[in-house]
Chain A
């Protein structure tokens, strides 16, 4: 336990709502264990990311390959500077280590920027937004209740004359903006999603694409540079002492020269190839995702063209590399606002009005009634509806997709706008469950939707009981909806 806290460890147990052990940061500062310490938003971030330095650094969950990248670059460059540079700077010019140093510095800078920054993650929808969207989807579908399969949730938009389909993301509960995609490894929707790069330990998206590109470009220059001068070194030596002697000498005097050359040789081809590929992508203003899917290729149809391209290569390149850098939307270091709206803002001068929190306290009765209505409705009609595989193209490089597979949603009756609000706490309860459950194929989840006007039967219950009921419902939904609703009814009636 923390030494020197004002209240001892026993008192901390009373304040169970602030569970400091739930945060996943390896660098949690001890003062957070004070009973009134507000949490920062990164600590409750719903995606699968790791945060360091109190939220300043953001990476994907699997970072092993990133450390490998670091080690490879550091070791190769280190060996170059240690063993080849002294000889070369004497023999040829000291500009060689200088240029090498600059390149190395640039590579490390861009690598760290790519790995540590937010790629353009879209925050998940607030419960109000999600409810509003669901309502609009219901209206658009004609509010047909009963055993119909609703059409897949897509919206069509015309961008520069080209029809683009916007897909609904079930994890984030939003319609994805054009060019955004959901990364299954990080469990986030990312704007202008390019790909998830394990070498960099992060997704590559709108905000860090230019860093990624500069990284691979400078890395290709660096590897070519090192490779060329290692070869030069060997050649110069062999001119002195003969080729075979040079090779014999080099392990003794200049160890790892061959290793260095070998590593560089393979890296050169792959990295240079990758740089070339991304140069092509930038000049045509496509993402890796789009290119692999062939979204804008002529093979799909004569009328198919890329609506985002500016028309000429130069403008495309400038826009991608020198365009404005949009800010991070997830506000990692901001504090989570409690119920009282605090206008003395968190970081970035963003003010939170906190309205969503306050109304959940006011609407306990309504929420209780809503849950009852939901269960009754569920029991009344067989409402299991399965979506066709919604997002089949989640990610090009890693194989897994979490949102594939039949996914059942429960939609009910007529929408009533104000009563959508009380579903806040129950919604958020389910939302927490959903990302975990989507690992399994053929999962189902329940969305407590608005229901028709209540018979007004139940007295007010505590919200906690009802959120527990909802949890029970969602847990049991693996079997069948009908069984659930009956079970739920039993639970509710026992309250």
Chain B
């Protein structure tokens, strides 16, 4: 773990946060947790569309699996009810197990795909399952590297780079 974690931390130390993109929820299927697969324009120059869509689609499938209503969830529900829900004190629910899988997946995606491109995914669980927050980092060290679409043009005109040169 240390080498991979280290690179994420280095990303934060050596880069400055430029902006954040929020991928909102897609409610067209009801209240189940799904995120929009629409590609945000701010990421246009940072990551390939297909990689991003695949990440979101995989996350959506994880959440669908967590919230699936079927045989095993009924069994869990009935068992829990029969024990007056005391069983939740010792057992982890199916949903929680899937959430752990999701967290691992996000970390792995960050390490392999997003951090090398100066991006960082935040687990939606930390944002109340409302958004997938994608932080876009500018590389502070390299000079003249501010070439990322809309964010750089406005930051150039605005309050002058946060990490003063």
Contacts and interface: CB of A to CB of B under 8 A. Distances in A.
Contacts of B28: 157-159
B130 A178 contact: no
A490 interface: no
B125 A323 contact: no
Contact of B73 (A322, A363, A418): A322
Contacts of A122: 128, 130
Contacts of B151: 417-418
- Which of B29, B85, B126 is most buried by chain A, counting CB atoms within 10 A of its CB? B85
Nearest to B96: A327
B128 A329 contact: yes
Contacts of A485: none
B19 A417 contact: yes
B70 to A, nearest CB: 10
A158 B81 CA distance: 34
A309 to B, nearest CB: 10
Given A129-B127, A343-B9, A355 B17 contact: yes
B154 A417 contact: yes
A422 B127 contact: no
B12 A109 contact: no
A129 B78 contact: no
A480 to B, nearest CB: 30
B51 interface: no
A262 interface: no
Contact of B30 (A178, A211, A327, A352): A178
A367 to B, nearest CB: 8
Interface string A173-206: 0100111000000000001100000000000000
A365 B16 contact: no
A370 B159 CA distance: 9
A365 B160 contact: yes
Interface string B16-28: 1111101001011
Contact of B120 (A210, A214, A323, A353): A353
Interface in A410-424: 416-419, 421-422
A36 B128 CA distance: 28
Interface string B52-91: 0000000000000011110001101110110011101000
B17 A326 contact: no
B27 A177 contact: yes
A358 B17 contact: yes
Interface residues of B, number: 62
B5 interface: yes
A355 B130 contact: no
B107 to A, nearest CB: 7
Nearest to B122: A353
A352 to B, nearest CB: 6
Contact of A350 (B19, B42, B80, B103): B103
A341 B154 contact: no
A369 interface: yes
Given A129-B22, A350-B103, A166 B95 contact: no
A166 B27 contact: yes
Contact of B31 (A109, A177, A322, A365): A177
A162 B80 CA distance: 34
B18 A418 contact: yes
Nearest to B82: A106
Contacts of A370: 159
A347 B86 CA distance: 21
Given A324-B95, A351-B107, A416 B85 contact: no
B150 interface: yes
B154 A418 contact: yes
B62 to A, nearest CB: 13
B65 to A, nearest CB: 10
Contacts of A174: 128, 130
28 contacts: A105-B84, A122-B130, A126-B127, A129-B127, A129-B130, A157-B27, A159-B29, A160-B30, A164-B27, A177-B27, A214-B84, A322-B69, A322-B74, A322-B76, A322-B78, A322-B81, A324-B69, A325-B88, A330-B128, A355-B12, A359-B17, A359-B162, A362-B16, A362-B17, A365-B160, A417-B151, A419-B159, A453-B157
Q: Which 10 pairs of residues, A with B, have the shortest CB-CB distance?
A: A322-B77, A366-B159, A109-B84, A123-B128, A418-B155, A362-B162, A419-B158, A322-B74, A157-B27, A329-B128
Interface of B: 5, 8-9, 12, 16-20, 22, 25, 27-31, 42, 66-69, 73-74, 76-78, 80-81, 84-86, 88, 93-96, 99-100, 103, 107, 120, 122-123, 125-131, 133, 135, 150-151, 154-155, 157-160, 162-163
Interface of A: 105-106, 109-110, 113, 122-123, 125-126, 128-129, 132-133, 157-160, 164, 166, 174, 177-179, 191-192, 210-211, 214, 307-308, 315, 318-319, 321-327, 329-331, 341, 343, 349-353, 355, 358-359, 362-363, 365-366, 369-370, 416-419, 421-422, 453-454
Given A322-B74, A329-B128, 10 more contacts: A113-B84, A126-B127, A159-B27, A178-B31, A325-B80, A325-B88, A329-B129, A350-B123, A353-B122, A359-B162
